[in-house]
Amino acid sequence: MTKNKGVLYIPRTIDLPGGFTVTVNQLKPMQMKTKHGDFYDGIWDIDTMSVDLNRKLTHKRKWYVFSHEFAHVVNDWMHWLVNKEIAQG
């Protein structure tokens, strides 16, 4: 996360331990509808390992939505780590 003149920017990637890397995309509303079938504010897609955010949201709202989607990321990362550990014996 980069901070410039008091503004905290949304990260473009998130690297969690164990090699769990997530891309963060800020898409136009029409791109969200085309990609996900509706005008979502944000969505976590584990298949593409990406969080997509509506770039037209206010800065505060975008951070709220990003935080919500990041909670989904962390939950799936924890499940991934457990399953990886089980597979390794």
CA atoms of 49 and 9, how far apart (whole Å): 20
pLDDT for residue 88 is more than 80: no
* Polymer length of the chain: 89
DSSP 8-class letter at 55? T
User: What pLDDT was estimated at residue 3?
Assistant: 60
Residues 69-85: tens digit of each pLDDT = 999 999 999 999 999 87
Would you place residue 1 in the very low, low, confident or very high pLDDT band (cuts 50, 70, 90)?
Answer: low
Residues 16-57: tens digit of each pLDDT = 999 999 999 999 999 999 999 999 999 999 999 999 999 999
User: Helices in the chain by DSSP H: which ranges?
Assistant: 29-36, 59-88
User: Which residues, 6 or more positions from 5, have their beta carbon under 8 angstroms from its beta carbon?
Assistant: none
pTM for the structure as a whole: 0.87
